[in-house]
């Protein structure tokens, strides 16, 4: 596990400088001070390493943001908390953020594109849930447009400090975007993205790729917890993944038990994504 982490950390440094395509396994192993054999014990290929890096950073990123949003009880602070946390995370993981943005426009790897689309969809869902929470039926016709506008804000303003090294005042940026978002939410009247258009773009959700990773995260989280309702809930949810027996209402209750525990935020996010369709039925 330590060697795997080393490879991921060193690979990020090279990918940030050279990009995915120009960086070879040989360069990665030399930068790590390990043999190629040691590399292939951890990853079957460079592509597998790249996908592991995306999962590692994006799950942490999305689960952190999701946790903050769900634990912000004051609606007047919700958008500010969201924007501030987004850009703070970009700043903290700037090397990965640069790679992530650049490679989206350059990659022809189908697995990479599918993976990127998965996390992009999760961000859309998070933004949409915030919009509905804040504005309700008032923006029923324009909620999808506002979702895409907010995604555009995030991408465009992040490039200012990721690629142009401009000084960044996180507080000012977050307050500025809150004002813009609020004005658009309250005064936009002509929708472009309709429910029908969203349905056309909606992809079938597939949890197969998530299951192995989810079980690994659950094992790691359970191991760190003392005996508690959170630990018991995680054990039951893991069993539900392996052999489904619980009702949707029971799953929802078990997820409720862990959602406010900071040590469970990654597991909570992944579990809610995995059981999403069952929760909706409860």
Phi, psi of 237 (to 5 degrees): -70, -35
Instruction: Provide the residue ranges of all domains of the chain, joining segments of one domain with +.
Output: 2-43, 49-201, 208-281
Give the pLDDT confidence of 170-195 residue by residue, as tens digits.
Answer: 999 999 999 999 999 999 989 898 77
Domain 49-201 CATH superfamily: Tetracycline Repressor, domain 2 (1.10.357.10)
Supply the CATH classification number for the domain 2-43: 1.10.10.60
Give the pLDDT confidence of 139-178 residue by residue, as tens digits.
Answer: 888 999 999 999 999 988 888 877 777 778 899 999 999 9
Sign of CA dihedral 220, 73, 58, 118: positive
Q: Which residues have C-beta within 8 Å of that of residue 232, sequence separation ≥ 6?
A: none
For residue 130, the tally of other CB atoms under 10 A from its CB is 22
Q: Which residues have C-beta within 8 Å of that of residue 194, sequence separation ≥ 6?
A: 144
The pTM is what?
0.71
CA distance 50 to 112: 8
Could you tell me if 61 and 122 are in contact, meaning their C-beta atoms sit under 8 angstroms apart?
no
């Amino acid at each position: 596990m330590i060697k795997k982490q080393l490879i991921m950390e060193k690979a990020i440094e090279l990918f940030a400088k050279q990009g995915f395509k120009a960086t070879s396994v040989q360069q990665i192993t030399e930068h790590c001070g390990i043999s190629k054999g040691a590399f292939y014990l951890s990853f079957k290929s460079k592509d597998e390493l790249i996908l592991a890096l995306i999962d590692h950073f994006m799950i942490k990123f999305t689960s952190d943001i999701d946790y903050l949003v769900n634990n912000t009880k004051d609606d007047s602070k919700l958008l500010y908390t969201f924007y501030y946390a987004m850009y703070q995370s970009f700043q903290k993981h700037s090397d990965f953020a640069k790679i992530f943005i650049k490679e989206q426009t350059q990659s022809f790897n189908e697995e990479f594109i599918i993976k990127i689309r998965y996390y992009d969809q999760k961000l859309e869902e998070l933004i949409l849930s915030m919009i509905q929470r804040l504005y309700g039926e008032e923006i029923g016709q324009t909620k999808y447009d506002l979702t895409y506008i907010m995604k555009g804000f995030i991408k465009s303003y992040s490039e200012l400090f990721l690629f142009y090294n401009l000084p960044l005042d996180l507080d000012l940026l977050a307050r500025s975007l809150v004002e813009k978002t609020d004005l658009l939410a309250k005064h936009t009247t002509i929708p472009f993205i309709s429910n029908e258009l969203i349905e056309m773009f909606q992809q079938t959700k597939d949890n197969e790729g998530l299951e192995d990773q989810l079980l690994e995260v659950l094992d790691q989280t359970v191991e760190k917890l003392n005996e508690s309702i959170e630990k018991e809930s995680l054990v039951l949810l893991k069993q539900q993944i392996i052999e489904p027996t619980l009702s949707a209402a029971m799953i929802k209750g078990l997820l409720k038990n862990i959602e406010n525990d900071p040590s469970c935020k990654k597991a909570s996010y992944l579990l809610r994504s995995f059981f999403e369709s069952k929760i909706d039925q409860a």
